[in-house]
Structure 1
């Protein structure tokens, strides 16, 4: 092959681990590297790369080293250089090597390491030390300190964590744009810290730092059935460490200690569920080096750090990612207004106006209206109310620590006219990179997909939560287990979920099993529940790392989580007994299937032991594959044999010789098919025909809950029952996905009938209008309707396999894989089916359309037209 005159392709988008470019305070001392190519000539194959590593060393010349790596790997390539140390700032650029020669350099990518060693920390946890009632709401405090900065500072950093939540200001200016710092981890084991750039805030000479505090998840009331207080401790404190690096490399450290002072600010109440109450008449807004001073301020108390390790973030922080303007404002008289933002979401309000004589403005939040007023029963014991007492004059205000789930808000106590310029809703969630898109010719299906997207955005708030509005907001393991395939297509979630999975492992060790939710805390009647391995929920330990590996090729994540995954399958195995049937344990089964009573969601139509045994087989299958990937060959053989044995036991117990499943439910057939538990292909064919008949007999209505819904559409597709799968998708009768759309939903509901056909709200206590679990159908939309799926880990090989049907005339899916953007668009035309695919450089693909031979695709754009074909 001649490459004369053709330029070697230049790498782009160099990345460290799963971090955004420029990330401060990472914890990986040997960070893996990834890059991709936007374009490349035909026949290009990377045979190696040159990696230039530049380490900034204040006071000395930068350390620049080039490394040559062989091979075609572009994703999570092992760190080629020396082990990095705390605080080091490193820049990397890459040049490709191929038959076309050596390319030009990529742009630099940069990260900075955090504090990696215990000895790096000199600060103490400090906070208010005044007496408080541990069982009531407590007024938040603030802490402050003054310090002197040298006149030759070349780098200034703040390292910050808290028992509770903290937000810092330096010389009166807010530090960074992160929200809810330091987030929620299993605080007894792992406490995350954040790193902030102070370069533009520090001035030579006198400076001051002030830090706002809030209870957060540390000591606030958390959870349902009244919740629990002081789960992790009863202090409210912060650990802060400012490091000023001088031109000669010396460091001046200002660390929180007993010389700091504490006092009250204008926040009277700050509660996760109840909201924030602020009295701006008490606010000392004048900031200089002596800002926040008051005779009532006193010395801080110093608190014990506890047993937690201080850990750097592996994913992005929570930020404001969007702002929503009102779509309608309705006056209720006497300064009271109802605002519709047109979209259910998680966030907080920012209000701007003028108060002539000083007033109290109250902000209430809800997911829906009833008779034109906020409907708050679904909040349960969460008040979701913010209040601000204003002095006379102009104001702009928003809560500092509160976050709510809502579409509608009520503002009362407002002086004058409330206009669209007076209020905006700021959308808050983990600031993940969007990497996946889907669209079709059906507007209602597109709205369904948008609802899935917004439910994910609403509930990925530092951890994968179940709902953003009521007195819960917990990291339910079952919800993310079924939703992870959809989530990992839409957003880059591996960094965030990697941290959460570490907490799954430590909580599993503490509890003796994978808990229902992580971080775990004892709540109401649930703290007395049997410590049993509960299927679907506990299987997160195996199946979610497996999904993330499929999507990103992150073998180290698999390796790190392997002991947790293995412990889960071993526990299920031990409890199942000699017959390998998961009976005699507490199970939630096909939770919230539409036939279950409103207040007994576990009483589904599918035998919970069938669900648990099917999941036992599935997790054993995937654990065997994981063991093979990470080189645990003996385990791979053992768990492969176990999976086969469980499948045989399942068939003996739950399947008949003529292809029937015990109970005959949609979920039972779907689990059996998707988890490949039919003993023969013929029985699978018969079984999926029966599943299709169940769907058709129900008029296309869904009859599955949390366990069956993620697999029912795939089961139909695997059995060649595309027509029934589309009928299920496109039904708009209750219960169905498009029923939610028809009823005006802008997010996915917890129940299929959270709103009843007559427009009233389901009377069940467990009724939310913003849960993502039933949105797990998004993965099927992406892979089957759109037709884009990984066939090898990290999309190294891509499967384009659209299954047109349901009257759709077009659909498209695109995803930013680790190798670059892949996409497919198909259109039904008079002459047949036209498909356009884009295959990223470094990957290969297959295009599989029913009735036609598969087409192999190299990197680049491909337009293929297939002759007339029958579609569902």
Structure 2
């Protein structure tokens, strides 16, 4: 049996709104082993039965089934296309045609006839209420073949046609560097239109565009008026076309949303609802004309996927009365989203909710770590029977909700929490015999969900929620095991490139709203708002990580100038290859910091130069991948020079590192900055530093992600496992045992005595330390990408069993299908089963002293490993594990 199970388009199942032909791939299923694709044939049509072929590749002899770019196929704007593929394999078997995949084009090169229109004036720049826009139009009395709407906003919007919501996006069009990068969304609205009279309407809120943003609490970062851009394309079956666009003929009014801000929540007055305002029968004579707002339409880019949507629904786990007498709903999971509730009451009654993350040591409501963020929902009842409400243009980070006002009894059945995050396929799964590790994996995943709300934020609850580059860089590899993040990060990296300084410096946050707005911050006012090592290196690390995980050279090509500019920025500010620049965050919030300091004990110059070397090496490799061979050679020479300078500056003649910190040794080892003659001493010293703290880490944001890797890659597997499984403070499982459902910002966010870290910066949903998830997948499960054949075309399987865990069952849904690993300890033996997708190969590298059952694989010894290379299929191996020895 041979079949194509699904086609992917830009790594997604469907795309609605693209400006170019998508990158193609497909997954193959077969009941045989060692299956390799021999040929493929792909067809593209404008109809589902493929009777109107636009393109037929013919039979192409090629084994590629991912990252396929077709030759220039002419596409029309506002059109639906269908794709199907069939293949043959190395056994001569031929598949049938796959099920069709679909995509819809956006505006492409068609001109925007629509204008940005607003219900506001510049005098409204301090206001946070939402507004309504509407327009009626007539369609011809003939059959509609298809209709597509393309829409965006300066602010946030919901669109309606004939009284019904269009699409299911939330917080659209998202947060970008608007002046040069504004996303628009496209929807098929054929079923919502009718011949004759129609009405279109939109509700628009402040959002990121003009709302109150940043811990300095400024607003109007991108403009002073919200606005809508809307172009509706209607095609009739007789071949004619009609266009309905936003312009000065639209009418405008205020919304029942009296206030809506991302940090502070929403106030909604149901008494002000104008029923039927988006329908044709509504009388809008009391409304005022919309005004046209100038904005650069060259910034518009189609967003075909990865939009923020409602993903899950959580129900109350308990309703608590606190010692202080507050009524609190516990949803059991720290999350991002909003609460939807049902209520009956009198006209003018109120529902008031406050959202927060944790109870204090006495079991009372704890709001201090929200800082100035109110996270408040207020709903004023209209009094027309049962009313159902959730916020529109805001979201909260919370597990608990304090019910400050509610008419009647607070019953669990009337409340539910709606989880919001960017729409990404979950690709990773991990379970094992250790309940604490299972909960840790859960917490890491939910840290991603809570913070991947259009941009990779640092936290979803307080007055910050910014796209800190360091956090996103640290977590990128873990995130890309957990979910398909290619499109999420590619969108964010576009803004990173846009927001770079002319000299190539990379802002601390992307999109950058710190520059020019940090005069009151004691660090940023003098130290600047860009180019801290490990933060700014997101410019290089994230594109390279996406290339490894997805095999996509386009991301390297698109970000190449940005990557190069960052390396050149460091080079221009380096002193004989030692690099340091203005404000550095160092090993942020490491436990070896001086009392009262956020900055760890590892010297900035060491951290900066280590990252300078690491990113330069990655960039040289990226240049080689996309054929920039002169750059590859030149930057490889630079990389070698930086490494040499690092060695002479930060190692003594006898191989001792000048900085006796865990992080210094971790970076030197993981970034391969240690001379061979000094490696053993460096590994031994790291083990000593770990032992000095009774096996605990004292690392911060820079050292923690690579700690287990630095140990396990250098013969200290037992120490890596012991570090992971520590349960007392400080450790990952300390948080788990304290009841965490996400990852904390601080190791001691809640201390053993129940007291809190300073409320100034104490998020309980902050994924940076969740970067250990990468070690769970790459080392514990042993699912590793091969740089020579990225995107898991060839996978390296090298699990590292630990004594205290009896089994691990893990999988990663690659472009080709799921790579699955299950290992179980039975007595002295390890029983290993793996599943390798069709059209890929794998190398098993097992730390074994004897292969007991080879499962049909040809193993050969190689140093302390036994290795076998094979094709697709399921394989079972049993072996006696090697005894891990230091060094």
**Normalized against structure 1, the TM-score is what?**
0.95
Name structure 1 gaps, 5 residues minimum: 1-6
Deviations 1:768-815 (A, max 9, x none): 111111110100111111111112300111111111114111112200
Cα pair 1:186 1:507 within 8 Å, conserved: yes
Q: How far apart are 1:412 and its partner, in Å?
A: 2.6
Describe the shift of the 1:333–1:616 C-alpha distance in structure 2 as closer, same or farther (beyond 3 A): closer
1:673 corresponds, among 646, 669, 685, to 669
Instruction: Tell me if 1:607 matches 2:603.
Output: yes
* Partner SS, residue 501 of structure 1: helix
Worse-matched range after superposition: 683-692 or 338-347: 683-692
Distance 1:675 1:288 in 2: 58
Q: How far apart are 1:348 and its partner, in Å?
A: 0.1
| Alignment-derived partner of residue 90 in structure 1 | 81
Q: How far apart are 1:361 and its partner, in Å?
A: 0.6
Cα pair 1:335 1:413 within 8 Å, conserved: no
Cα pair 1:164 1:217 within 8 Å, conserved: yes
Describe the shift of the 1:723–1:220 C-alpha distance in structure 2 as closer, same or farther (beyond 3 A): same
Distance 2:671 2:323 in 1: 58
2:112 corresponds, among 102, 107, 121, to 121
| Alignment-derived partner of residue 754 in structure 2 | 759
Q: How far apart are 1:57 and its partner, in Å?
A: 11
| Alignment map for 1:526-537 (pairs within 5 Å) | 526=524, 529-530=527-528, 533-537=531-535
Cα pair 1:535 1:612 within 8 Å, conserved: yes
| Alignment-derived partner of residue 581 in structure 1 | 578
Q: How far apart are 1:55 and its partner, in Å?
A: 2.7
* Partner SS, residue 413 of structure 2: coil
2:215 corresponds, among 220, 224, 236, to 224
| Alignment map for 1:615-764 (pairs within 5 Å) | 615-680=611-676, 682-763=677-758
| Alignment map for 1:4-153 (pairs within 5 Å) | 7=1, 9-21=2-14, 23-28=15-20, 30-56=21-47, 61=52, 63=54, 65-80=56-71, 82-98=73-89, 99-117=91-109, 119-130=110-121, 132-134=123-125, 136-150=126-140, 151-153=142-144
Instruction: Tell me if 1:838 matches 2:835.
Output: yes
Describe the shift of the 1:231–1:848 C-alpha distance in structure 2 as closer, same or farther (beyond 3 A): same
Aligned length: 856
2:543 corresponds, among 531, 542, 545, to 545
Name structure 2 gaps, 5 residues minimum: 850-865
* Partner SS, residue 685 of structure 1: helix
Distance 1:599 1:292 in 2: 61
Cα pair 2:531 2:581 within 8 Å, conserved: no
Q: How far apart are 1:610 and its partner, in Å?
A: 0.4
Deviations 1:237-264 (A, max 9, x none): 1001111111122221110000001001
Cα pair 2:42 2:86 within 8 Å, conserved: yes
Instruction: Tell me if 1:499 matches 2:491.
Output: yes
* Partner SS, residue 691 of structure 2: helix
| Alignment-derived partner of residue 211 in structure 1 | 202
* Partner SS, residue 761 of structure 2: coil
| Alignment-derived partner of residue 399 in structure 1 | 391
Cα pair 1:598 1:764 within 8 Å, conserved: no
Q: How far apart are 1:40 and its partner, in Å?
A: 4.9
Q: How far apart are 1:292 and its partner, in Å?
A: 5.6
Cα pair 2:539 2:563 within 8 Å, conserved: yes
| Alignment-derived partner of residue 772 in structure 1 | 767
Instruction: Tell me if 1:437 matches 2:429.
Output: yes
| Alignment map for 1:176-191 (pairs within 5 Å) | 176-191=167-182
Q: How far apart are 1:832 and its partner, in Å?
A: 0.5
| Alignment-derived partner of residue 854 in structure 1 | 867
Instruction: Tell me if 1:233 matches 2:233.
Output: no
Distance 1:336 1:243 in 2: 53
2:801 corresponds, among 800, 804, 821, to 804
| Alignment-derived partner of residue 558 in structure 1 | 556
Q: How far apart are 1:312 and its partner, in Å?
A: 0.9
* Partner SS, residue 59 of structure 2: strand
Distance 2:214 2:749 in 1: 21
Describe the shift of the 1:561–1:334 C-alpha distance in structure 2 as closer, same or farther (beyond 3 A): closer
* Partner SS, residue 191 of structure 2: coil
Q: CA RMSD in A?
A: 2.1
1:255 corresponds, among 237, 242, 245, to 245
Q: How far apart are 1:132 and its partner, in Å?
A: 2.9
Distance 1:699 1:590 in 2: 21
Distance 1:626 1:333 in 2: 58
Q: How far apart are 1:410 and its partner, in Å?
A: 1.2
Describe the shift of the 1:351–1:34 C-alpha distance in structure 2 as closer, same or farther (beyond 3 A): same
Describe the shift of the 1:357–1:83 C-alpha distance in structure 2 as closer, same or farther (beyond 3 A): closer
Worse-matched range after superposition: 305-314 or 339-348: 305-314
* Partner SS, residue 741 of structure 1: helix
Cα pair 2:45 2:52 within 8 Å, conserved: no
Deviations 1:635-677 (A, max 9, x none): 1111111111111100000012333222211100000000001
Instruction: Tell me if 1:473 matches 2:465.
Output: yes
* Partner SS, residue 500 of structure 2: helix
* Partner SS, residue 400 of structure 1: coil
Q: How far apart are 1:42 and its partner, in Å?
A: 3.5
1:318 corresponds, among 308, 319, 331, to 308
Worse-matched range after superposition: 358-367 or 34-43: 34-43
Describe the shift of the 1:281–1:689 C-alpha distance in structure 2 as closer, same or farther (beyond 3 A): same
Distance 2:313 2:268 in 1: 22
Instruction: Tell me if 1:786 matches 2:781.
Output: yes
Cα pair 2:78 2:233 within 8 Å, conserved: no
Deviations 1:463-498 (A, max 9, x none): 111110011111111111110000000000101111
| Alignment-derived partner of residue 861 in structure 2 | none
* Partner SS, residue 179 of structure 2: coil
Cα pair 2:10 2:24 within 8 Å, conserved: yes
Q: How far apart are 1:334 and its partner, in Å?
A: 13
Deviations 1:298-341 (A, max 9, x none): 00111001365110125410000000000001247999621001
Distance 1:365 1:291 in 2: 39
